[in-house]
Chains A and B, each alone.
Chain A
């Protein structure tokens, strides 16, 4: 009862208007509208290649060795992954999972996902001996300045496992591919 009365009294208090802070005249004089921020911060604009849909990267020496591992021999692994068609489906799903995974999606912001899908497909297709060569950069260069951690890599591995599982790659074959990728951790984890 007394509590209700107290609330009623509080509600009845006249509201004193707070004094508004004086407008910052200095800030008003600064007009940033004409500033080319990208020029001021030295941002280089990269143009999408109309033919490939990819952004240019710094020049590098192309070599299948950039894939970071020696390929399997024989048709067994390519078959387990459903050939080039299967690999493309798995890579597309893998990239989609990564770019929507709250744990690691930030890493893929502002990255060239067109190029990522192509080079990942090439790398897997090459390593699985499914009839491709790898034309991308080596793992250290490709992951430079991404600031990835061990936990990021583990999240990525889980997404790859999920993409492979959803596309019916036998678990032993999944692990055989992961065995090729696992030794690359020192090149892709930065901190």
Chain B
């Protein structure tokens, strides 16, 4: 009887077994990817199957980034924030600011005219894990990226059908530990012109077409990765050709929560000005 009484007291005051913190921060370093120019997590240029933030499947994570690109004739600045929920769902927002510099005057927009775009994106991990599990089963995610050009009048004047558009992505990402190599492949349905900065659709092609993004990265240490990416793009506008884009990058997680990425990026021809290549620097904080 006394033991039963003792037991009931013990049960009533026993604390809840080890409550998990909301921001558990338990993800392996760099497996949250780095923010792409469209805000979704990935390799910088290509969206990957990764989920942003340092959370695991029992927590919530956040990240923020800022990216600058110096091209031959243009300047790029983008920034954004992401939330990762239980390593399952990623919600992100990014703002792109594309400075036409002297090209702006040549195009009749005025020197230093800036194209701006907002991107709201969501991505869900369907199955698999980048690091764990069978090497035959990559982490697979699908995503949606809703893009809103803030220059509707101008992008329509150059031939775009719409100032707003939505991309759909499907990505597979796997770290092949036996080779220290990470591979990503992404299929994207899009009708964006220059990522959407020049609107969506055009005289050559109105509807979305299937495009491909591939990334290969090699781990030098748990915190240092080098790699390259390739991304095909539609060429919808009649007035200016659009080329595929590629980059070579090095990403360094200099602390558990901060990663700096430097890249050589080449986006080809932009608004009739060819050979747009240059340096990218991106800084990301993730918790």
Which A residues fall within an 8 A CB radius of B? Answer: 30, 32, 35, 40, 103, 106, 149-155, 157-158, 161, 171-172, 175-176, 178-179, 182-183, 185-186
The residue that B178 contacts in the complex, of A32, A149, A158, A179, with Cβ under 8 A, is A179
Is B28 a contact of A157 with CB atoms below 8 Å? yes
Residues of chain A within 8 A of B220, CB atoms compared: 171
Is A149 a contact of B134 with CB atoms below 8 Å? no
Q: How far is the CA of A23 from the CA of B18 in the complex (A)?
A: 34
Q: B157 interface residue, CB < 8 Å from A?
A: no
Surface stretch bound by A, among B52-60, B97-105, B161-169 = B52-60
CB-nearest residue of chain A to B29: A158
Is A150 a contact of B26 with CB atoms below 8 Å? yes
Residue in B2, B6, B222 whose Cβ sees the most chain A Cβ within 10 Å: B222
Q: B73 interface residue, CB < 8 Å from A?
A: no
CB-nearest residue of chain B to A150: B56
**B interface: dominant SS:** loop
CB-nearest residue of chain B to A151: B26
Residues of chain A within 8 A of B24, CB atoms compared: 151
Q: A106-B18, A154-B28, A179-B135 are known contacts. Are A149 and B177 too (CB-CB below 8 A)?
A: no
Which B residues fall within an 8 A CB radius of A? Answer: 2-3, 5-6, 18, 20, 24, 26-28, 56-59, 87, 129, 131-135, 176-180, 219-222
Is B26 a contact of A154 with CB atoms below 8 Å? yes
Is A175 a contact of B180 with CB atoms below 8 Å? yes
Is B132 a contact of A185 with CB atoms below 8 Å? yes
Q: How many Å from the CB of A49 to the closest CB on chain B?
A: 31
Residues of chain A within 8 A of B3, CB atoms compared: 35, 40
CB-nearest residue of chain B to A26: B5
The residue that B6 contacts in the complex, of A32, A179, A186, with Cβ under 8 A, is A32
Q: A158-B28, A182-B132 are known contacts. Are A30 and B5 too (CB-CB below 8 A)?
A: yes
Q: A32-B6, A182-B133, A185-B129 are known contacts. Are A154 and B177 too (CB-CB below 8 A)?
A: no
Q: How far is the CA of A114 from the CA of B235 in the complex (A)?
A: 65
Residue in B27, B28, B57, B179 whose Cβ sees the most chain A Cβ within 10 Å: B28
Residues of chain A within 8 A of B132, CB atoms compared: 153, 182-183, 185-186
CB-nearest residue of chain A to B20: A149
The residue that A175 contacts in the complex, of B58, B129, B178, with Cβ under 8 A, is B178
Is B57 a contact of A150 with CB atoms below 8 Å? yes
Residues of chain B within 8 A of A183, CB atoms compared: 132-135
Q: How far is the CA of A153 from the CA of B28 in the complex (A)?
A: 10
30 interchain pairs, CB-CB under 8 A: A30-B5, A32-B2, A35-B3, A106-B18, A149-B20, A149-B57, A149-B58, A150-B56, A151-B24, A151-B26, A151-B56, A151-B59, A154-B27, A154-B28, A157-B28, A158-B222, A171-B219, A171-B220, A171-B221, A175-B180, A175-B219, A176-B177, A176-B178, A179-B135, A179-B177, A179-B178, A183-B132, A183-B133, A185-B133, A186-B132
